Amino acid sequence: MAPLRTDPNIIITGTPGVGKTTHCQELASRTGLHHLDINDVVKKHNIGETSNDPADPHVKIVDEDRLLDCIENDLEEGGQIIDWHGCDMFPEKMIDLVCVLRCDNKLLYDRLKARGYSEEKLQENLDVEIMEVLVQEARDSYKEEVVVELRSEGTEDIDANVERIETWIQNWRKDNGKEGGDVEAKEEGKGKKDEDDPMFLHG
């Protein structure tokens, strides 16, 4: 049996430009959880290939097995806010919440254009957003109740999202570890949506 975590593991995912890192940094600052930037892990352990195009310096191919080996202890310990543009590689049993950030296509275009993305790479990322590729990936990889879509188009959205996730973390801690409780009762209750939990108010 996997060790019980006293803090949750959360994935913040979405196409480039939706504000993943900003969300993760703010959440880490407010909750004490650790911002686990997968790009940093890949670079530190040299487990990914990067583009030679200065306008597209993002990791292209990652050795997923080696990556998971590098972060396995962190995930088992808990308290990780995972910052990455995908989610299906992370073991379901170690993930407690998946937040897929979404952004208006025109705004996303402007953000990526400002980053110097080539037209081909820009269109590729817009297609991913339009076709809801990452949303579907999250739904295919994790239980419905742990996946939530969050709008990320401005400062107001970021503030609201962070507050919403922070409240969810507080509730998770009460139910799963830091304040104790009946483990069997917790296990029996898993998978049931709590209508008072703000993370399940998808509208």
Give this prediction's pTM: 0.83
Which DSSP state fits 118?
-
Detail the residues annotated as belonging to a binding site for ATP: 17, 19-22, 115
The alpha-helical segments, DSSP class H, found in 52-93 are 64-77
Say if residues 103 and 128 touch (Cβ distance below 8 Å). no
pLDDT of residue 141: 97
Residue 194 has pLDDT above 80, yes or no: no
Residue 89 has pLDDT above 80, yes or no: yes
Detail the residues annotated as belonging to a binding site: 17, 19-22, 115
Taking residues 116-136, report their average pLDDT: 93
Share of the chain above pLDDT 70, in %: 80
The amino acid at residue 187 is E
What pLDDT digit, counting tens, does each position of 128-172 carry?
999 999 999 999 999 999 999 999 999 999 999 999 999 999 999
pLDDT of residue 49: 74
Domains annotated on the chain, with CATH: 10-183 (3.40.50.300)
Residue 149's contacts (CB-CB under 8 Å, 6 or more residues apart) are: 99, 100, 101, 102, 135, 202
Identify which of 81, 69, 62 has the alpha carbon closest to the alpha carbon of residue 10: 81
